[in-house]
Structure formats: structure tokens, C-alpha cells
Amino acid sequence: MNYLITVVGPTAIGKTALSIQLAQHFNAEIISCDSRQFFKEMSIGTAVPEPEELAAATHHFIQNKSIHEAYSVGHFEREALQKLEELFLKNNIVIMVGGSGLYVDAVINGLDHFPTIDASVREELNKRLEKEGLESLQNQLKTLDPETYQEITIENPHRIIRALEVCIGSGQTYSSFKNKPKTPRNFTPIKIGLTADREIIYDRINRRVDIMLEKGLLKEVESLYPLKNLNALQTVGYRELFQYLDGTIDFDFAISEIKKNSRRFAKRQLTWFKKDENTWWFDYMEDVKNIINKIETSI
């Protein structure tokens, strides 16, 4: 029997540290499903594990792509499943870690299949994004498909446009195409969730942003500024500093927006992961021995 032990939870909660401890205990390798850490040009703003952390256990899917590549959750599902087949030949346990709920679900449950939509729909939505701004599209999605509006990262224009594209092009909600029967997996998933009181999560996020700035986040963003319209860069920490570099907001406000949007993101992550009743939740300060004991009772 193969087991995929998956560590989930909000940003900055300590998933990386726990996944490494689990990998060392089970002599397993780690698959990262953090959709922001795939890209080699983005390091500080995506909180890529430190070199000593990467050396402590074998990691896959970290900084393995370029922001110039079109890389979707569908690509990741296929590549991750292929990698799992390889890893299960060596060990019947693999660790997966990340806060990108859609990517976690793609590996464990399989992707939903959506209808093909005429490209003109997306073109029109992109034009509206430029003219009217993101809020207009957010409001339309809230009207057309409130369920999806509550579930996705609404600060991400790519996700908003994708959902609207399906709603408009098919005449049905984006959410109606979800949760259909999927291809069975050759592993048993074990999901471990890390959490904490909201105040603690928010404080950890605020401190992480401060640390990113100390490490040189602004310099990293400046180096990417000419590429600011690439899809991979439409994400928290980069988008706000691009606005600062554009001169539309000042630096202090940009930083406060990064912290605010990161806190919102964490809230949505928890909402997503809490939907799965099979996840075992632990406080972020829980002794790792207790988590390992819980896992071993199920293997």
C-alpha cells in the first residue's frame, strides 16, 4: 500500500519544517505543491525553503519552471503523478506539502474537466480587466457563481477570468463542473493540517513579510518589473510592489497591502482545507512525535 502524507494549512504556519521532519522520519522524499514556488525567478517573495532546508530532504517541484512558461494545475497534476510513480518504487511513503489547495486536490482527487470556451470570451474579459479593473470582474463572478467566488483566491485575476470565462461561455456556473467522478489513485492519502489562533497566524504572516523585505524582496521585484504582466507574477507580494514602482501607491501602503492580502489569502486557505473532513488538524506547536504517532496508527 502506498501512502501520500500531505501537509496543508495557511501560509507561514510551519508546513515546510514539519514536512522535512516527516520526510526524515519516514526516509521519504518531498513533493512541493506550492504553485508560487515552481518558478526559479521568484524566490524571496514566495518563501522558497532555505538551502539548508532543501538539503535536509530531497524536494521536487521547487524552482523547476520559468515564469515565461505556461504552467497550469493540469500540467502539475500530470507531472506530479508521474513523479509519484517513480518515488513509490523506492518507498511506499511520499510527503507532499503546500498551501495551494487546488494543486493538492488535483494530485489527490484529480482535476475537474471543463468545457472548451471560445477564446474571444477570455480576450473580452482581459480587455475589461484593463479598462474597469479587477473589482468589476470580482463583482460579476459574485453574481454569476457565488460558490466559486467564496472558494477561489479573488485577488488573482487569472483565477477570476478563468471562472468567468466558463460561466459566460457555457451558460453554467464554474462550480457546476466540479466534483465529478475522477480517475482512482494508486495511493492512500493522509492529510495533516497545521493551524493556530487567527491572531497568531496573522502575526506570523506580518513577521514573514518583514523578513522578506530584509532579505531583499524589493530588489527581487525591481528585477522582475519589466515582466510584471506575466501571469506568474500576478500574486501577492509582487503585485503590490509593482504598483509602488508604477508610482500609484507609496511604499508603506504597498507593504501594508501585502500583509493584508496575505492575511486574506490565509483565511481562504483555511476555508478551502477545512472542507475536507478527513484532514487531521494539529496546532502549529504540536510535538512532531504526536503527529508521527497518529500517522503510524493508520499505516
pLDDT digits (tens, 9 = 90+) for 124-133: 999 999 999 9
Q: What pLDDT, on a 0 to 100 scale, did the predictor assign at position 197?
A: 97
Residue 13 marked as a ligand binder: yes
How far apart, in whole angstroms, are the C-alpha atoms of residue 139 and residue 61?
A: 34
The CATH class for the domain spanning 3-111+182-296 reads alpha beta
Q: What is the DSSP string of 82-145?
A: HHHHHHHTT-SEEEEE-S-HHHHHHHHT---------HHHHHHHHHHHHHH-HHHHHHHHHHH-
Residues of the chain with CATH 1.10.20.140: 119-177
User: What pLDDT was estimated at residue 58?
Assistant: 98
Any known ligand binding at 295? no
133 is in an annotated binding site: no
183 pLDDT higher than 80: no
**Domain 119-177 annotated CATH 3.30.565.10:** no
Does the pLDDT value for residue 283 go beyond 90? Answer: yes
Domain(s) labelled CATH 3.40.50.300 in the chain stretch across 3-111+182-296
For position 119, what pLDDT does the model report? Answer: 87
DSSP state of 185: P
pLDDT value at 87 more than 80: yes
Residue 15 annotated as binding site: yes
Name the pairing type of β-strands 30-32 and 188-195.
unpaired
**Chain length of the chain:** 299
The pTM of the full predicted model, rounded to 2 decimals, is 0.82
Please report, for residues 4, 8, 292, the alpha-carbon distance to residue 298 in angstroms, rounded to integers and kept in the order given. 12, 18, 10
Answer yes or no: is 11 a known binding residue: yes
Q: What does the pLDDT look like over 110-156, one tens digit per residue?
A: 988 888 899 899 999 999 999 999 999 999 999 999 999 998 888 88
pLDDT of residue 153: 82
Please report the pLDDT score of residue 83 as a whole number.
Answer: 98
pLDDT of residue 155: 87
Q: What is the mean pLDDT of the chain?
A: 95
Give the whole-angstrom CA distance, residue 221 versus residue 113. 35
Q: Is 16 annotated as a binding residue?
A: yes
